[in-house]
Amino acid sequence: MKPRYKISQKWTAFPAEFSAQIKDLFTQNFAKHLESSIKVFVDGRIFTKEIALRVGLHTQGELKRFNFEASVDLPENQPENHEQLIFDKISLMVDAIGTLMTEYFENDQDIELPYVWAEVDFSGKKVWIQHSTENPDLEAQADALLGLDTESKIINNADDEKSEDVLDTTEDEFDQFAEQVSEHIDSEPQMFKKKKKDDLH
């Protein structure tokens, strides 16, 4: 997943358990649309200036995935409520992608999305969205064959593990988060109410 800012190179991945919880959230909310051959994949990354989230759909037997990607800015100076801020921004992106995915399924898996980052207004807040067909599994295999170390960009030192601690939520905290997001996902899609799809290209 490519970040919006070119200077964004190193990043911290969402903790595996947290990504799994987001995956379960989408799988449960869209269970009636997901056939046994369609799997949900989640990739979340925290950069210095932004947070990016990808929720991908992969149909068994196909090489490409249908990826919904969202990004939001992080403030340059960490506020006192930094942990809550990150949590709120992730919730916003999950909500935005959930709205897009609702529209995707309601239109027989036919939706127009930009292939480059495009700013949209969602619930009065700025969110950047884009669509891709990248399959990280295939890319990882190709990188391995070429001898490339893609994991070297992941931040793992102690000073930067704070980002992961932020997402180390309790089960009750995540249940509350999931309930709030589900309410938006189940409601009428609002992403393109004020912005025509053609304007996103």
Q: Would you write out the chain's pLDDT as a tens digit for each of its 201 residues? A: 888 998 767 888 888 888 999 999 999 999 999 988 899 999 999 888 999 999 999 998 888 999 999 999 988 877 666 778 888 899 999 999 999 999 999 999 889 999 999 999 998 999 999 999 998 776 556 556 666 555 554 554 433 434 444 455 555 655 565 555 445 444 433 333 333 333 333
Query: Which of 168-177's residues contact partners 24+ apart within 8 Å by CB, and which partners?
Result: 168/15, 168/18, 169/18, 169/87, 174/18, 174/21, 177/87, 177/91
Q: Quick one: pLDDT at residue 121? A: 94
Q: In three state form, how does the secondary structure of 121-137 look?
A: EECCEEEEEEEECCCHH
Q: Quick one: pLDDT at residue 83? A: 77
Q: Quick one: pLDDT at residue 161? A: 38
Q: Quick one: pLDDT at residue 17? A: 86
pTM value?
0.73
For residue 88, give both structure tokens.
Answer: 């709120």
Decide: 35 and 20 in contact? Cβ < 8 Å.
no
CA dist 132 and 115 (Å) reads 6
CB within 8 Å of 172: residues ≥ 6 apart: none
